[in-house]
Structure 1
Amino acid sequence: MRKADRLFQIVQILRRGTRPITADAIAIELETSKRSVYRDIAALIGQRVPIRGEAGVGYVLESGFDLPPLMLTADEIDAVALGATWVAGHADESLARAATDLLAKIAAVLPEEMRPFLGNPATRAVPAWDRPVDGIDAVQLRAWIRAGRKLRLDYADEQGRATQRVIWPLMIGYADTTRVVVAWCELRTSFRTFRLDRIAVAEFLDELIPGSAAQLRARWLKEVRERG
C-alpha cells in the first residue's frame, strides 16, 4: 500500500471510531507494522490533522475534521460504480437516472488519475432481465414513505387471491427481478412485504402513520435479525 493511501486509511479508521484506537489495531487492519503506524500518525500530525493520543493508549480524531469528500481509493470507486450500476439496472426510471447522474458528478470532481477507475471499473452489476411491471408509482411511493403517510392497496397474493390492505410503508426492497414494499399491515397487525407487481390498485392517503417511521424500521430490522 502506498504511503498516501495508508495515511488516508488511517484517517478513515479514526473517523469511524468513537473511542481511542491503538496503533496495534490500526496496524492489524492495514496489514503493516506498528512502527509504520507511529510514523504515519506523526506525519499526519505534522500535516495539521487534529489527532490526539499517544503510543500505548490510542488515538482519536477531533470532531470537525474531514478529508475532501472525493479522495477515494480504487476499491471505494469500485464500490460506488457497482452500487450505481446495480441501481441503474434494477431500480425505477427515476432512481436509475439519479444513479447515472451521480456517477457523472463523481467523475467530474475526481482527480484526473482516478477517473479511469470509475469509467472502466473492475466491478459492474448485471442488469435485471424480464422484470415484471410494478402496479404502483415507485416515485410517489418513495415520497409517501418519506412523508410517513398511509396507503390503501388492492393486492393479490401468490395464489392470486385479492385482498384490500391499509399499510404503513416503511421502505422499498430491491431483489434481482422484483421490488417489494416493507410495511406495517393494519389487517394483519404485523410487518409484511408486498411485491409491487402484485399491487392492482394503490390509493395514496393523506393520513399520517402513528409514531415514528424510523422506529418502525428499527423494529422491523430487529425482527429480521432475530428470525435469522
Structure 2
Amino acid sequence: MSRAERLLDLMQNLRRRRAPVAGSALADELGVSLRTLYRDIASLQAQGAAIEGEAGFGYVLKPGFDLPPLMFTLEEVEALALGARWIEGRADQGLSRAAGDALAKIAAVLPPERAAVLDWPTLLVAAGAQAEAEGAALSAVRKALNEERKLKFAYADKDGRRSQRKVWPVAVGFFEQVRMLAAWCETRVAFRHFRLDRMTEVAALDERLPRPRRTLLIDWRRAEGLEG
C-alpha cells in the first residue's frame, strides 16, 4: 500500500467515527505501528485535515470536514473530467452548467499537478448531436423526476403518429445518440420508453406520483428483467 493510500484509509477510518478513537486502536486496524500512525496524523494535520486529539486521549475528525486533495488519484480525476464533459455536451442547459461547476470545484481543491489534467485533458469527448428540443424536454423531465411528479407531453412514434401521454417518470437513459425516458404510461397501463427528441409540449404536472419513484424504479427493473 502506498503512503497516499494509507493516509486515505486513515481519513476514511476517522470519518466513520463520531467519538475519539485511541491511536493504538487505529494503528491495529490500519496495520501500522503506533509511531507511523502518529506521523501520518501529523502529516494530515499539516495538510489542513481537522483532526483533533493527541496521544493518550484519542483522535477524531472534526464534523463537516471534507477530505483533502489526496482523495483523488490521477485516474479518478481523469474519470471525473471525462464524465463531466460528456454531460456538458449531452444534457440540458442546467445539467451542463452543473457539470462545469462541479469540475471547477474539483479543480479548486486539487494539487496543481492534478488540476492541470482538467485544463490539458488526455481523454477528449466529441460534441453531442443533441437537438435543442431534446434539451428543453430533458429540463422538464428532470424537474418531474426530482420532484416525483407526473409528466405530460405530446409524442410522435417512429412512424410519425402523434399522441398525448401522461406518465410516471422513472429514469432517463443517456445513450450515444438518444436520450430515453423510462416511465409508467397511464394510456398503455404499462411501462414504456420514450425518446426525448420525439417529445414536445413537455410539462411537469402538479400531480404527485402515486408511488415513490424508488418503488417505480424497482418495478421497472423487474419488468425489464434486470433483477434476479
In the alignment, which residue of structure 1 is the partner of 2:153? 153
In the alignment, which residue of structure 1 is the partner of 2:164? 164
Q: Secondary structure of 1:122's partner?
A: coil
Q: Secondary structure of 1:182's partner?
A: strand
CA distance in 1, matches of 2:12, 2:6: 10
What is the aligned length?
195
**1:113-124 to 2 correspondence within 5 Å?**
113-124=113-124
Contact 2:7–2:40 (Cα < 8 Å) also in 1: no
Contact 2:140–2:203 (Cα < 8 Å) also in 1: no
Q: Which moved more, 1:136-145 or 1:65-74?
A: 65-74
Which residue type is aligned with residue 138 of structure 1? L
Compute the displacement of 1:67 (Å): 6.6
In the alignment, which residue of structure 2 is the partner of 1:6? 5
Compute the displacement of 1:155 (Å): 0.8
Which residue type is aligned with residue 109 of structure 1? V
Contact 1:81–1:124 (Cα < 8 Å) also in 2: no
Contact 1:151–1:167 (Cα < 8 Å) also in 2: yes
CA distance in 1, matches of 2:67, 2:99: 21
Contact 2:137–2:200 (Cα < 8 Å) also in 1: no
Q: Secondary structure of 1:173's partner?
A: strand
Q: Does 1:134 align with 2:129?
A: no
Contact 1:167–1:186 (Cα < 8 Å) also in 2: yes
In the alignment, which residue of structure 2 is the partner of 1:83? 83
Contact 1:7–1:40 (Cα < 8 Å) also in 2: no
Which residue type is aligned with residue 5 of structure 1? A
Give the unaligned 5+ runs of structure 1.
18-36, 51-61
Q: Secondary structure of 1:96's partner?
A: helix
Give the unaligned 5+ runs of structure 2.
17-29, 45-50, 52-60
Change (3 A) 1:42 1:191: farther
**1:1-228 to 2 correspondence within 5 Å?**
3-8=2-7, 10=9, 38-39=31-32, 43-44=36-37, 47=40, 68=67, 70-71=69-70, 72-129=72-129, 131-134=130-133, 136-226=136-226
Compute the displacement of 1:182 (Å): 1.7
Compute the displacement of 1:150 (Å): 0.9
Compute the displacement of 1:84 (Å): 0.6
* TM-score, normalisation: structure 2: 0.70
Compute the displacement of 1:123 (Å): 2.2
Give me the identity figure in percent.
34
* TM-score, normalisation: structure 1: 0.70
In the alignment, which residue of structure 1 is the partner of 2:23? none
